[in-house]
Amino acid sequence: MELKSIRKVDFGDKRVLLRVDYNVPVNNGKVSDTTRIRATLPTIAHLLDDGASLIICSHLGRPHGQVEESLRLTPVAPLLEEMLNQFIKPAGFAPRRIIKLDDCVGQPARTAVEAAGANDIVLLENLRFHAGETTNDPGFAKQLAMLADSYVNDAFGTLHRAHASTEGVAHLLPAYAGLLVEQELQGLIQVTENPAKPLVIILGGKKISGKIDVLESLIPRADTVLIGGAMANTFLLAQGHKVGRSVVEDDMVDTAKHMLDLATQHNTEFLLPVDYVVTDDLLNPTGISTVSADSIGGDDIAVDIGRRTCDLFQREIQRARTVFWNGPMGVFEQEQFSLGTLTIAKALADVFKTAHTVVGGGESVAAVNSAGLTRQIHHVSTGGGASLEYVAGKELPGLKMLMA
């Protein structure tokens, strides 16, 4: 099976429905981080260069099938127009205009698509304003497909979802992978196929439930697994320690035990924090201290890994030849609790010359960005769940439709 890349086709006079991931942070009507928009510019420029007419679509947030004013893609339109025109100018392209619609399907959308001029690009409204998007309703997929002759998916971050715009529509139109999807897979393949050993997997973040099945397939393949964040608390419980008032998922304790057994069976080094930064109150801490993993007090809230753990994890990363990291080590959004996450980010940057390093996941990527270390990481993924599931060897429904 091979990726059906847009490089192998000429989109000459075609109308192309381009699925992107513009699920960007919007604050007070302004896009506060443009990374995901920037990431799609090479694909857009490539298709324009072929002479294609573009109809761009994306989801934004979780409006649950209803119009939510704050989740319109309106703030994206002027930004996309400005960024795209800057991007294509050196190649001598005519400036493009983004025509943002108020809906993504229906007669007005069809009329607007047909009326679009040679230098117009249509941006459809948030796909998730229709319930049919997330339920992968064939009728909704058909309405989307009616707008175009071909379909290109460059929304790497949503490839693990079987939605109408990521899966359904690909049954109805010739489907291809955009350049971002291609680049993401190139970055991840060095983790999934014959990774240079030792392979160190670092998992953190808040929830264990979304990540546990991933661990199950990663443990046999990794040499070392490092666990931090609130995720580690559930493992501590599984080992019989107390976690005070820390975030835990009690119903996952048995699963955590199973993971510990699995690691023993496969001879995978499975390291939990040996010490923790604890506090009495997350938002208004009056006391912050570091305690060892077996002596978290009844009132303590574990909010970061401690210094001894930082050193331990750092040493493991130094020996690695491949590193994959998803999920912060602590509540890094608050400076007092960010040392663990920053230490991991720096440790990855430090092995740039000796290891292939990959970071995925919204929050971990934000931490790497804010530390200014993005360029010292080999691959920073635009998709958290998608990269994690891909690395774990799961089949991504959206990706499957782009293979032949």
Active site residues: 36, 207, 362, 385
What is the per-residue binding string for ligand ADP in 297-336, x denoting contact by CB under 6 A? -----xx----------------------xxx-xx-x---
Task: Pick between residue 132 and residue 229 the one whose CB is nearest to ligand ADP.
Answer: 229
Strand bridging mode 379-380 / 356-360: parallel
Whole-angstrom Cα distance, residue 64 to residue 369? 30
Name the β-bridge partners of 108.
none
Residue 331 contact, options ligand ADP, Mg ion, none, Cβ 5-8 Å cut-off depending on partner type = ligand ADP
The encoded tokens of residue 303 equal 């909010």
**DSSP single-letter state for residue 378:** S
What is the per-residue binding string for ligand ADP in 164-203, x denoting contact by CB under 6 A? ----------------------------------------
Amino acid at 238: A
Size of the site for Mg ion (CB under 5 A): 2
Residue 53 contact, options ligand ADP, Mg ion, none, Cβ 5-8 Å cut-off depending on partner type = none
Shortest Cβ 155–ligand ADP spacing (Å): 17
Task: Pick between residue 132 and residue 205 the one whose CB is nearest to ligand ADP.
Answer: 205
Which listed residue (229, 273, 397, 398) binds ligand ADP by CB under 6 A?
229
Residue 383 is a binding residue for ligand ADP (CB under 6 A)? no
Shortest Cβ 394–ligand ADP spacing (Å): 16
Residue 205 is a binding residue for ligand ADP (CB under 6 A)? yes
Binding region for ligand ADP (CB under 6 A) out of 9-17, 40-48, 77-85, 362-370: 362-370
The separation between CA 160 and the C-alpha centre of its own chain, rounded to angstroms, equals: 10
Sign of CA dihedral 13, 15, 20, 25: positive
Whole-angstrom Cα distance, residue 98 to residue 100? 6
Task: Pick between residue 223 and residue 363 the one whose CB is nearest to ligand ADP.
Answer: 363
Which listed residue (75, 178, 384, 397) binds ligand ADP by CB under 6 A?
384
Residue 230 contact, options Mg ion, ligand ADP, none, Cβ 5-8 Å cut-off depending on partner type = ligand ADP
Q: Residue 270 to residues 13, 67, 226, 265, 276: CA-CA distances in angstroms?
A: 55, 46, 6, 11, 17
Residue 63 is a binding residue for ligand ADP (CB under 6 A)? no
Which listed residue (157, 362, 383, 398) binds ligand ADP by CB under 6 A?
362
Residue closest to ligand ADP (Cβ) = 205
Residue 204 is a binding residue for Mg ion (CB under 5 A)? no
Task: Pick between residue 23 and residue 143 the one whose CB is nearest to Mg ion.
Answer: 23
Which listed residue (362, 383, 397, 398) binds Mg ion by CB under 5 A?
362
Q: Smallest Cα–Cα separation from 277: which of 313, 303, 309?
A: 303
Contacts of 125 (CB under 8 A, 6+ apart): 72, 73, 100, 101, 102, 103, 104
Contacts of 97 (CB under 8 A, 6+ apart): 81, 117, 119, 120, 121
The encoded tokens of residue 146 equal 């009616």
Q: Residue 12 in contact with residue 51, Cβ under 8 Å? A: yes
Contacts of 6 (CB under 8 A, 6+ apart): 43, 46, 47, 152, 176, 177, 178, 179
Binding region for ligand ADP (CB under 6 A) out of 9-17, 148-156, 183-191, 361-369: 361-369
Coil, strand, or helix at residue 387?
helix
